[in-house]
Amino acid sequence: MTLKLYYHPLSSYCHKALIALYENDIPFEPVVVNLAEEQSSAEMRALWPVGKFPVLKDEKRGHAIAESSVIIDYLDRHYARKRLIPEDADAAWQARMWDRFFDLYVMEKQGKLVEDNLRPAEARDPHGVAKAKEAIAKSYAIFEKQLGKGAFALGDDYTLADCAASPALFYASLAVPITDATPKLKAYYERLVRRPSYLRALKEAEPFFHWVPMEVKPTMPA
Ligand SMILES: N[C@@H](CCC(=O)N[C@@H](CS)C(=O)NCC(=O)O)C(=O)O
């Protein structure tokens, strides 16, 4: 098969890449990587020594592509029927901007919460955790104001921004629930987690949900 995706079904950044593949029914060979095992991750590390997934290998074109947003851009240009980064230049930078917003100000903050839960008790960072939760809540309030022009982040078209928002909100809401204080965000979130492409990724992650190092474990959308 031409495309190989090195990933783990539980990983939030891998969900972004999976959504893009599933949105466009792009065939690929899934390669599940266990980062804790040298042998399991060796092939992926040879392609991308940073050692973070997702990594996409395109055997036909001879490339290894890292970084979830770049993978989506690459799939858009070479494999997608329906682009996730809009053709229109202004819509394109907006999709990229909100993608950065979800990665940097929601997903990365959520990563801090996960990382803290993996620390030994004596090395915990309650101040850092409180700051990360505050940042997530602030991002919810900011995005509430952005919503309203359609079903998705930029309007009625589902874009890169929605790919990033889906796992970011899915995992962040375990620690910072999305409430009626942000009703548009709440309705948007419900649409994201019920979209067939993301539901498919979540269904594949479900057997591993108990591994998520958070007090509240994820569950499938009702
Ligand atoms: N900016 C990267 C982030 C990738 C990333 O942090 N992936 C996590 C899994 S969600 C990972 O590989 N963590 C393992 C590690 O940091 O060792 C992207 O968008 O792909």
Q: Which of 52, 78, 104 is the last residue of a domain?
A: 78
Q: Is 144 found in the same domain as 109?
A: yes
Which protein residue has the closest C-alpha to ligand 1 atom 16? 52
- Average pLDDT value for residue range 200-204: 98
Query: Which pLDDT band holds residue 149 (cuts at 50, 70, 90)?
Result: confident
Alpha carbon of 67 to ligand 1 centroid (Å): 8
pTM: 0.97
Residue 114, domain member (yes or no): yes
Position in ligand 1 atom list of the atom nearest CA 71? 20
Alpha carbon of 180 to ligand 1 centroid (Å): 31
97 in Cβ contact with 109 (< 8 Å):
no
Pairing of strands 55-58, 3-7: antiparallel
Q: Domain holding 124: CATH number?
A: 1.20.1050.10
Number of domains in the chain: 2
1, pLDDT greater than 80: no
Name the percent of the chain lying above pLDDT 90.
96
Cβ of 12 below 6 Å from ligand 1: yes
The model's pLDDT over 50-88, given as tens digits with 9 standing for 90+, comes to 999 999 999 999 999 999 999 999 999 999 999 999 999
- Average pLDDT value for residue range 171-188: 98
- Average pLDDT value for residue range 191-204: 98
Q: What is the pLDDT of residue 184?
A: 98
Q: What is the pLDDT of residue 128?
A: 98
Q: Domain holding 68: CATH number?
A: 3.40.30.10
- Average pLDDT value for residue range 198-218: 97
8, pLDDT greater than 80: yes
Q: Is 96 found in the same domain as 65?
A: no
Position in ligand 1 atom list of the atom nearest CA 103? 19
- What is the spatial distance between Cα 96 and Cα 100, in angstroms, rounded to a whole number? 6
Cβ of 35 below 6 Å from ligand 1: yes
Largest CA distance in the chain: 51
What domain range includes position 125?
89-196
Residue 221, domain member (yes or no): no
Alpha carbon of 61 to ligand 1 centroid (Å): 24
Query: Which pLDDT band holds residue 30 (cuts at 50, 70, 90)?
Result: very high
Pairing of strands 63-66, 3-7: unpaired
110 in Cβ contact with 136 (< 8 Å):
yes
Which protein residue has the closest C-alpha to ligand 1 atom 6? 52
Q: What is the pLDDT of residue 202?
A: 98
- pLDDT, mean over the chain: 97
Alpha carbon of 53 to ligand 1 centroid (Å): 5
Alpha carbon of 113 to ligand 1 centroid (Å): 14
